[in-house]
Amino acid sequence: MDNGNLHQNYFALQLRDLKQEYQEHICNSEFYRYYRSGRLQVYGAVKDKKISDVAMTAEWEMALQKIENNEEDAGTFQREMETYATSITRELLDTGIAQEKQPELTCLKCKSRQLLIWNKVVKCPDEACGWLQFRSVCGVLLSVADIESLVTNGKTKLIKGMKSKSANKFDVYIVMNDKGETSFEFENRKLKRK
């Protein structure tokens, strides 16, 4: 076996390991978990961040090609990729996307974008639209099911144990009109009228 072939074999092996390692890293990482739990939500949350940088992906492909052609050092590339994987994982963790399965809900205000359900808010990814609903309402945290019901049916189930400013507890339905404006609907409203 001549020197050229040795080199080629060496890099072919390196490349295989590298590709495998890359795959494992991605599959095991938070990134992949988040990605699987809701591609669109993740995309909306990270569209301006490194992870969605298509050019970056193309760059990787080119680097791999260069390694294959013996033009670039595999070790350097691997280190760069590890740093990169760590940074995108951190970015995703910072976006605070809820881990529970997310329903696909279209924003009622702009009627085009898919809402992002975060730990503390539900938010339209369109900055111009700007629709936002805090998940904590009068001391009660709205569940994903509550939000789904609100957006889909325009009304939540009866939400119990909310606290008014004067610390009185009350039960209420949260309702939303077709412009995405929310308000309270009291259960005993009809009774009061009598």
Q: Which residues contact Zn ion (rule: CB under 5 A)?
A: 107, 109-110, 113, 124, 126, 129, 131
User: DSSP per residue over 90-114, as a string?
Assistant: HHHHHHTB-SSPPP--B-TTTSSSB
Spatial CB neighbours of 14, under 8 Å, sequence gap ≥ 6:
67, 74
Q: With respect to Zn ion, which residue has the nearer C-beta, 85 or 129?
A: 129
Q: With respect to Zn ion, which residue has the nearer C-beta, 77 or 131?
A: 131
C-beta of 111: minimal distance to Zn ion in Å? 7
C-beta of 125: minimal distance to Zn ion in Å? 8
C-beta of 107: minimal distance to Zn ion in Å? 3
Q: With respect to Zn ion, which residue has the nearer C-beta, 42 or 107?
A: 107
Q: With respect to Zn ion, which residue has the nearer C-beta, 114 or 156?
A: 114
Distances from the Cα of 91 to the Cα of 58, 122, 125, angstroms: 20, 19, 17
C-beta of 114: minimal distance to Zn ion in Å? 9
Instruction: Kindly state the tokens that stand for 85.
Output: 């994987």
Asked whether 81 and 60 are in contact (CB, 8 A), the reply is yes
Instruction: Kindly state the tokens that stand for 128.
Output: 């111009």
